[in-house]
Structure 1
Amino acid sequence: MPLFGSIANALFIVCGALAGLLLRKKIPAKIMELPVQGMALFVVTLGVGMAIKTQQPLVVIASIALGSLIGELMNLEGALEAASMKLEKRIGDGAKGFSTGFITTSLIYCTGSMAVLGAFEEGLGGYPSLLLAKGLIDGLTSVAMAASLGFGVIFSAVPVFLYQGLLTLAAGWIQPFMSEAAVTEMSATGGLMLMGIGINLLGFMKIRVMNMLPGLVVAVILVRLFF
C-alpha cells in the first residue's frame, strides 16, 4: 500500500492525542501546570540532544540565521496565529492553545532523522519498519502532549503525513541530496528550534520558532554546497 508508513504514523498520532484529550478533561487545569512544565523540559532536553550531534556548527548557525530571516519575511507564525484565532472562534474554548500544541508536536515529529530515513526506506521499496516504529513512539508521546497542551496536538498528524509522504514519493530524486551529513545538520538545526519551543512553554520569552522552519531546508542546501 503506497504511503502505508506515513498513514499509520498519522493515525498513531491522532489516536494518542484523542486519548490524551480524554485524560485532560478529567484533570483540573491547575493540576496540569506542572505536567506542562515537565513537557517543556522534555522538549528542551530533546532539542539539546539533537543539536549537540552537529558536526558542522557553522552550518547550524547559518541555517538558523538565514532560515529565520526568510521566515520573518514570510511571517509564517503570524499566519498560523491568525488561522488559530479563526479556529478558536469557531470551536470555542476547546481550541485554546492550538498553535502551541500544533507547533510543538509538529516539530518534534518532523525534525528527527527517523522521519527522513523512514520515508526513504519506504519510498525506495522497503517495508516501512522505521516509520511504524516512529509512529508508535509518536502515538505514545501524543498521549502526554495532548493531555498537557491540548487540541492542537491532533492536527500535527497533518504536517507529519504531508512531510513524510512527500519524502516517500520523491525518495528516488531526493535521496542523493540527503546525505548522512545533511540529515545530521538538519536534525541539529531542528534541535535548536525545539529548545526554543521549550523556552516558550516555560514562559521565559517568546521566540517565533515557526519562522525558523526554513532553516531546515537551508541546512540541507549548505551541506550540499560546501561539504
Structure 2
Amino acid sequence: MPWLSDDMSTGTLLTGTILNALGILIGGLIGLNRNRQLSQSTQVALRGIMGVITVYVGLRLTVMGLNGSAGQVLKQVAILLLSMTLGRIIGRLLRIQSTLNRLGQHASQSFAKSRPEDPNRISEGFTLCTLLFCAGPLGPLGAVADGLSGYWQPLAIKMVMDGLAAMGFVSIYGWGVVLSAIPVFIYQGTITLGVQRLEPFLSQNGLLDSVNVVGGMLVFCVALIVLELKKLQLADYLPSLAVAPLITYFWR
C-alpha cells in the first residue's frame, strides 16, 4: 500500500490534518444522503481493520526511530521507558485524561438526549462533534508526527474513524457535524505548524528519533484501545513526547 510506504518525507504541509478534515466532510455528506446506518457486523469488521493498520503504523514509526548499534538501541529503549513513565506522572498531575473524560462524558450525555427535531441541533452538533473529534489523543499524536516527520498516516487512520462517526451523527445533527471539520483543521493544523518550527533544532541535536520512538509506541497503544484489548489512560502519556527529547539531550 503506497500510503504505508517507508518514505517518511512524502507528506506535504498539513497533509494529515487536511485528510482528517476531508474525512469528516465526506463522512458527513455521505450520512446526509444515506437512509440507513452501517450494520453492526460492518462496524466490527472496520474496527478490526483499523486496529491492525494502527498496530503497523505505530510499530513502524517506533522501529524506524531505533537505529545505530545494539548499545544505542538499548539506550533508546531505556529512554522510551523512562520517558513514558515520567510522562504519565506529569499527565496525571495535570489531569489530562480526566479532563478529556469529562468532555467526552458531556458529549455522550448530550448525544443521548438529542433529537432530530431539536431546533438547536445544528449548533449543538457543531459543538459536540468538535469536542468529540478533538478530545482523543490520536489527534495531537498524529499532528506531531505529521509536523516533525511528514508521517501523516496516524491522521489518515483518524480520518476514517472520524468519517464513520460523522456519518452516524449527521442524521441527528445535520450540517453541524460537517462544519466541525473546521475547528478540527485549526486545532491539529496549529499543532503541526508549531512542531514544524522545532524540527530543525531536534534534527540538528539528534533528538528527533526519540520523539518518533515514543510517538510510535503511543500510536500502537491507540490500537489496543481500538481493538478493545486494553483500557489505557492514553492522554496522560502525551507529555512523554516532550520528556523524551529532554532526556536524550542530557543523556549524552
Query: TM over 0.5: same fold?
Result: yes
Query: Does the CA-based 8 Å contact 1:107-1:194 persist in structure 2?
Result: no
Match of 2:185 in 1: 157
Are the structure 2 counterparts of residues 160 and 180 from structure 1 closer, same or farther at C-alpha, using a change threshold of 3 Å? Answer: farther
CA-based RMSD: 3.4
Distance across 2 between alignment mates of 1:138 and 1:48: 11
State the AA in 1 paired with 2:24. A
Whichever of the two has the greater Rg, that structure is 2
CA drift of 1:147 comes to: 3.8
Structural mapping, 1:72-221, within 5 Å: 72-90=92-110, 92=112, 102-103=135-136, 105-107=138-140, 109-112=142-145, 114-117=146-149, 134=152, 141-150=157-166, 154=181, 156-168=184-196, 171=197, 175-179=200-204, 181-221=206-246
Query: How far 1:203 moved relative to its partner?
Result: 1.2
Unaligned runs of 5+ in 1: 119-129
The alpha-carbon deviation at position 186 of structure 1 amounts to: 0.5
CA contact (8 A) 1:64 1:189 kept: yes
For each residue in 1:129-151, what CA deviation from the matched residue of structure 2 results, as whole angstroms up to 9, or x when unmatched?
Answer: x9xxx5xx678655522244557
Residue 190 of structure 1: SS of its match in structure 2? Answer: helix
Equivalent residues, number: 202
Unaligned runs of 5+ in 2: 1-11, 68-75, 115-124, 170-176
Query: Identity over the aligned pairs, expressed in percent?
Result: 14
**C-alpha contact (below 8 Å) 1:70/1:211 kept by paired residues:** yes
Taking the aligned partners of 2:60 and 2:96, their CA distance within structure 1 comes to 26
Q: TM-score, normalised by structure 1?
A: 0.72
- The alignment status of 1:50 with 2:50, answered yes or no, reads no
Q: For each residue in 1:36-78, what CA deviation from the matched residue of structure 2 results, as whole angstroms up to 9, or x when unmatched?
A: 1211111111111112232411111111111011111212011
Q: 1:14 — aligned with what?
A: 21
* 8 Å contact kept, 1:18–1:143: no
